Chains A and B, each alone.
Chain A
Amino acid sequence: MPAEITVEVHEELRALLPGFLDNRQRDLLLLTQSLDNADFTAILRIAHNLKGVGGGYGFDQITALGERLEAAARSSDAAAAATCITEYARFLQQHRVVFV
């Protein structure tokens, strides 16, 4: 059983969270497809968005991952991008939200 990653989200964002998480799953799908196609432009765009949006909802891990993935995409580093995407998939699977 993988360890849980706790994410503290402000109570006032409770209603916005389902939409946010749905979109993150959609991003994971798009990232995987883009990596298969070696489409670093698409990866860069999604990574940039992840970097910009994660922390705002309390998901600092997503912002940090987005930043690393953005750098990987910028240098067309497929291996580094794959690592980030794997970590991202794991995070989405393992995180647990606590409203504060």
Chain B
Amino acid sequence: MAAYPPLPAAPSAKRPSAPAEVLLVDDQQDSAVLIKHYLEKAGFMVRRVDTGEQALASVPVLRPSVVLLDILLPGIDGLEVCRRLKSESDTLDIPVILVTGMTRSEDRVRGIEAGADDFLSKPVNPEELVARVRTLARLTEMRRALEYERLEREVDQRRQMQRTFERYIAPEVLSEVLAAGNSPESLLARQTRTDAIALFADLRGFTRMSEMLEADRVVALLNEFFTTLTEVTYAYEGTVFNMAGDSLLIGFNVPLPREDSPTRAILAACTMQSQFQDVARRWKTEDHIDVGLGIGICGGPVVVGNVGSRTYMTYTMIGDAVNVAARLMQSAKSGEILISKNVLDRTDGLDAYYQPEPIEPILLKGKSRPIEAYRIAPVFADYEQAEDAPDAPAAAGNTMSLALSPQLLGDTATFS
């Protein structure tokens, strides 16, 4: 089984830490030395660049707490640097103090228009310099601390959401969902109408088994039953929607479409029967209980999404196809797979393996036309008969490799 995709990365924001960093942009050596001296004395870490170009390159990388920006710079001047920093989403939140020898009010107005947060006049008064830098640096640190907390909370929520989602869908599908830039929460939050194949699997003989065995043993066996079926589901990239009592609802073609989903559904059902037969045999020896598996499959339009109340939500699949699959499952005998015609018709070339046999059309409440369906049973005998065919599975227990055969997957008509 493939490794689970990595969990969301840690927050990219800098963890707030002392001392606060100041980027000083000043080409004038004596002025820069003096400002650096006072700020370092006040506990700040000061980096200096000489030009506007260097400032524009450094700020997004260093993300200082404050930028002290001289207006008169060679090349791009301080006002333009300020304007550009304030127009970029990754730097606009960094406070800029314009340091200027210009005293005219129109110069300050230009500074305000460029987005400057504060001004300092040259010659710089040490107390005023430190006070203004400290105030803005504190604001930056507070904002970053809040942002860091928010990101940490968000990552926690995402991790939790991803873990929840991992319970429903195959790891490969989850990797694909995440690689496509989707977030698990966006998939969970979205209600979508789509074509899907519903597969219902039910443990036959469960009532008798729960009467005969101790509760602990019943739970242990049920866990084994669900584990076996879930692993098969994941191998065929299906999604587990519901686990209730002794039955399981599985969807194919959701949340990501797979052209060969009808084939996947049938192969999954056959594999479930095959693998559960081994389990049932062992249970019979160990616990003297007689159980089997009944499966119903139907395809059609469904609604997939998070359904429930504010306090209890579940990711589920709703639609006629689900109801019909449930009905087919109820009609299936132990070891049988009943499949609707609309799914079987989309698995060209597989009839040789399954030898489907039409059953009496099933009438559903509220439906004028009966559902046409087929029986695939006994599954294992069919596989053995198909042994001579090229690329056919050698034995029922080997159906996992059958699923990966390109002759069988990816070549079937789309389900619609």
Q: Which A residues lie at the B interface, using CB under 8 A?
A: 12-13, 16, 19-20, 23, 45, 48-49, 51-57, 63
Contacts and interface: CB of A to CB of B under 8 A. Distances in A.
Interface string B108-128: 000000000000001110000
A20 B123 contact: no
Given A16-B37, A51-B122, A56 B31 contact: yes
Contacts of A54: 123
Given A13-B37, A16-B37, A48-B101, A53 B72 contact: no
B101 A57 contact: no
A16 B31 contact: no
- Give the top 9 A-B pairs by smallest Cβ distance, nearest first: A55-B123, A52-B122, A52-B101, A56-B123, A53-B30, A53-B31, A56-B34, A20-B30, A49-B28
A90 B70 CA distance: 30
Contacts of A52: 28, 31, 101, 122-123
Contacts of B34: 13, 16, 53, 56-57
A10 B123 CA distance: 15
A68 to B, nearest CB: 14
A25 B37 CA distance: 22
A53 B122 contact: yes
Interface in B71-107: 72, 101
Contacts of B37: 12-13, 16
A53 B72 CA distance: 13
Q: In the complex, which of the residues B41, B123, B124 has the most CB atoms of chain A within 10 Å of its own CB atom? A: B123
Contacts, number: 47
Contacts of B124: 56
Contacts of A45: 72
A16 B33 contact: yes
B17 interface: no
B29 interface: yes
A53 B28 CA distance: 9
A63 B30 contact: no
A49 B72 CA distance: 9
5 contacts: A52-B28, A53-B31, A53-B34, A55-B122, A56-B123
Contacts of A51: 101, 122-123
Given A53-B28, A55-B122, 6 more contacts: A12-B37, A16-B33, A19-B29, A20-B30, A20-B33, A56-B122
Nearest to B29: A23
Nearest to B36: A16
Q: In the complex, which of the residues A23, A53, A57, A63 has the most CB atoms of chain B within 10 Å of its own CB atom? A: A53
Nearest to B74: A45
Contacts of A19: 29-30, 33
Contacts of B31: 49, 52-53, 56
Nearest to A52: B122
A16 B243 CA distance: 77
A23 to B, nearest CB: 6
Interface in B109-163: 122-124
Contact of B30 (A12, A23, A48): A23
A85 B265 CA distance: 93
Given A48-B72, A48-B101, A49-B28, A63 B33 contact: no
B123 A63 contact: yes
A53 B29 CA distance: 9
Nearest to B34: A56
B31 to A, nearest CB: 5
A77 B37 CA distance: 37
A8 to B, nearest CB: 14
A20 B123 CA distance: 14
Contacts of B30: 19-20, 23, 49, 53, 56-57
Contacts of B123: 51-56, 63
A63 B101 CA distance: 10
A30 B390 CA distance: 92
Contacts of B72: 45, 48
A51 B31 CA distance: 11
Contacts of A23: 29-30
